[in-house]
Structure 1
Amino acid sequence: MMSDTPPELPSLDAGVTLLTTNERTTGPLHSLVLDRLLLDQGSAVWVDARGHGTTRSLTQVTPSMRVLDRIHIARAFTPWQHLSLVRDLAGELTDETSIAVLPAVDWFYRSEDLPRGADERMLSAAAERIEALAETFENPILVTLHADDALSAPIREIADRTVRCERTRFGPRFTGDEYETLVYPLENGMVQTTLAYWKRVLADRHPAMVDADVPPEVRANGAH
Structure 2
Amino acid sequence: MTGLLAGALPLAGSAQTTETTPLPRYYVGLGIYQFPASGTYAPVVPTFGLQFRPRWAVQASVAFKPQGYDYNDSYAFYDYSSAGPNSGQYHDVNYSSTVRIRSLAVPVLVRYTLTRQQQHRFQADLLGGLTWLHRSYHSEQRTIDQTLGTDETDSYSYTNNNLYLTLGPSLRCRIWKGLEATGELTYQFKVFSPSGFYGSNFTGNVAAGLRYRFGN
TM range (shorter): under 0.3
Q: Taking structure 2 as the reference length, what is the TM-score of the superposition?
A: 0.21
Q: Taking structure 1 as the reference length, what is the TM-score of the superposition?
A: 0.20
* Rg comparison, structure with higher value: 2
| Higher RCO (C-alpha under 8 Å, 6+ residues apart) | 1
